[in-house]
Structure 1
Amino acid sequence: MEMLEPMLSKLAEEDVHLEGVWVSEPKLDGERIIALRKGDQIDLWTRRHVEVSYKFPEIISSLKKNIKGDNWILDGELTVPGGFRKLLKRNVEDRFKISLLAKKLPATLNLFDILRFQGEDLTSKALVQRKKILLKVVQEGGHIKIVPFKTVNSKKIKDHFVESIHRGYEGLILKNASSEYESGKRSSHWLKIKRSETIDVNVIGATKSTGSIAFGALILEKDGQYFGKVGTGFSDLDRKEILEFLEKNRGVTDIPLPPDLDILLTTRQLPAEIKANEIVKGKPRAPVWVRFRWA
């Protein structure tokens, strides 16, 4: 089944002023998933158009049991205990390992929107209407949850944000209660307030280490250009796990790299996030590693 492009949010500050009625949701540390069902077939699509249903049999089983109807499209966030770093461990191809990980590191699909039900397109309906339908269609249980939400006004945004952080979430998502679902668009009707701003990049390799650590730094790409490297933000154990991940994703990059880079290996483009104080001459200043994004 062909996936439907997810609606995306724009970054906002804690003091953003909102007009009208808005809904707040916690920002989860997982991977965005569009789930589709048509008859007996259920597909799980990532933002990068990768179909991953076979990697999460526990999710497929719960969707069949806990969602009414046999023709729907749902939007949600896939999580595992321990956050996104642990979720990366589920990115395996071996069927035996998949079955073991489904029990050892079970995933949850946290649903927050419904885009189609029994063939009816719901994207033109207001968010609050879609939420009401979602609550009727979804029975929480097994590996399926509904993302908690509440109405919010400008005066309470900071309180909601602080509460979300204290509960261990990444931040806050704010959605205009009357907004339609704008597939494939980064819309001002959906806003995100993050604990700290991150920059989306691609890892395309690693440099050699001058000591006993696994590698020196990760080589970065953004918008088709070399974007510098990041060598801080991970422990020695992180470096070993990351190097194993890089080894499994070796590839040849067509991004022109500086000749003085002491390259250990190159990889296919691996989506990731970094933090940086600022961008200077097209490169991040004092970058710090955050995490890989699900590819």
Structure 2
Amino acid sequence: MEMLEPMLSKLAEGDVYLQDVWISEPKLDGERIIAMREGDVINMWTRRHVEASYKFPEIVSSLKKNVKGDNWILDGELTVPGGFRRLLKRNVEDKMKISILSRKLPATFNLFDILRFKGEDLTGKALIQRKKILLEAVDVGNHVTLIPFKRVTTETVKEHFEESLKKGYEGVILKNASSGYESGKRSVNWLKIKRSETIDVNVIGATRSTGSIAFGALILEKDGQYFGKVGTGFSDLDRRKILEFLEKNKAETNISIPQVLDVLLTTRPLPAEIKANEIVKNKPRAPVWVRFRWD
């Protein structure tokens, strides 16, 4: 089955003013997944266009059991206990390891949208209508659940955000309740509010190491421009795992990288987060690595 591109959120900057009816959902620390079923076949697509259903047999089994019908498309966030870094441990190919990890580090598919049901395209329907259909279509199970949502107004945005942080979430996603599903677009109808100290970037490669570590620094891009590099915030083990991940995503880049950098490899844009004290001349000062992101 051909992958349907997910709708993406815009980062809210400054105060948020909401008109019409909006809802608030907690922002989870996982990986975005579009799940599709046609007949007996279930596919799970990541934002990198990787089909990952074989890595999560417990999710596939629950989707067959807990979602009505055999022709649907669902949107949600895949998580494991411990967050995204722990989820990376599920990125294995060996069938025996997959079987063991599905029991030792089981995943949960946290659903927030439905784009097709019983063969009907729902992307043109309002979000609040899709939410009602989602509630009817899904029976919550051990590995499939629904992300909670609440009505939110301009006056209660801050309250919802702070409540989300207290519960251990990364922030909130605000969604226009009357909006359709804009596949493949980063839309103003979905707004992301996250911890202010992190910066959204793309990793586009790595530099060579002058010692025994796997690489020197990760090369960054933001808004189509070179955005510096980050070389701290990960252990030697992290570096080895990250390099393996980068090698699987090798690609040429059209971003102009300074010639002074000793480039080890370049990759397709890989969404990530860093921390920095401040931005100086469009570059982060003293950046620290946080993680890869797929939301």
Superposed CA offset, 1:88-125 (max 9, x none)? 11111111111111111111100000011011111111
Deviation at 1:58, TM superposition (A): 0.7
2:123 match:
123
Residue identity matched to 1:200: V
Residue identity matched to 1:266: L
Q: State whether residues 15 and 157 of structure 1, in contact with CA within 8 Å, keep that contact through their aligned partners in structure 2.
A: no
Deviation at 1:267, TM superposition (A): 5.7
CA distance in 1, matches of 2:260, 2:2: 44
12-21 vs 100-109, which moves further = 12-21
Q: State whether residues 203 and 221 of structure 2, in contact with CA within 8 Å, keep that contact through their aligned partners in structure 1.
A: yes
1:266 match:
265
Deviation at 1:181, TM superposition (A): 0.9
Q: State whether residues 25 and 149 of structure 1, in contact with CA within 8 Å, keep that contact through their aligned partners in structure 2.
A: yes
Aligned to 1:155, the other structure's residue is in SS state coil
60-69 vs 223-232, which moves further = 223-232
Matches within 5 A, 1:22-37: 22-37=22-37
Matches within 5 A, 1:167-186: 167-186=167-186
1:79 aligned to 2:76? no
Deviation at 1:205, TM superposition (A): 2.1
1:242 match:
239
92-101 vs 34-43, which moves further = 92-101
1:204 match:
205
2:154 match:
154
Contiguous gaps of at least 5 residues in structure 2 = none
4+ residue runs of structure 1 moved beyond 6 angstroms? Answer: none
CA distance in 2, matches of 1:71, 1:64: 11
Deviation at 1:268, TM superposition (A): 4.0
Aligned to 2:247, the other structure's residue is in SS state coil
TM-score using structure 1 length: 0.89
Q: State whether residues 233 and 289 of structure 1, in contact with CA within 8 Å, keep that contact through their aligned partners in structure 2.
A: yes
Deviation at 1:215, TM superposition (A): 4.7
Deviation at 1:283, TM superposition (A): 3.7
Deviation at 1:82, TM superposition (A): 0.6
Aligned to 1:101, the other structure's residue is in SS state helix
Superposed CA offset, 1:198-229 (max 9, x none)? 2221241243256x766542233557765432
Residues 1:266 and 1:80: Cα distance change in structure 2 (over 3 Å) = same
Deviation at 1:288, TM superposition (A): 1.9
CA distance in 2, matches of 1:191, 1:221: 22
5-14 vs 242-251, which moves further = 242-251
1:42 match:
42
Number of corresponding residues: 290
1:287 aligned to 2:290? no
1:194 match:
194
1:60 match:
60
1:17 match:
17
Superposed CA offset, 1:58-108 (max 9, x none)? 110000000000000000001111111111111111111111111111111
Residue identity matched to 1:42: I
2:133 match:
133
Q: State whether residues 53 and 60 of structure 1, in contact with CA within 8 Å, keep that contact through their aligned partners in structure 2.
A: yes
Superposed CA offset, 1:229-253 (max 9, x none)? 202223xxx3323224414643876
Aligned to 2:182, the other structure's residue is in SS state coil
Superposed CA offset, 1:13-67 (max 9, x none)? 4620101111000001111110000000000011121111111111100000000
Residues 1:144 and 1:220: Cα distance change in structure 2 (over 3 Å) = same
CA distance in 1, matches of 2:277, 2:64: 46
CA distance in 2, matches of 1:247, 1:153: 44
- Give percent identity, aligned residues only: 69
2:104 match:
104
Q: State whether residues 201 and 274 of structure 1, in contact with CA within 8 Å, keep that contact through their aligned partners in structure 2.
A: no
CA distance in 1, matches of 2:117, 2:207: 45
What is the root-mean-square deviation of aligned Cα atoms in Å? 2.5
Residue identity matched to 1:150: K
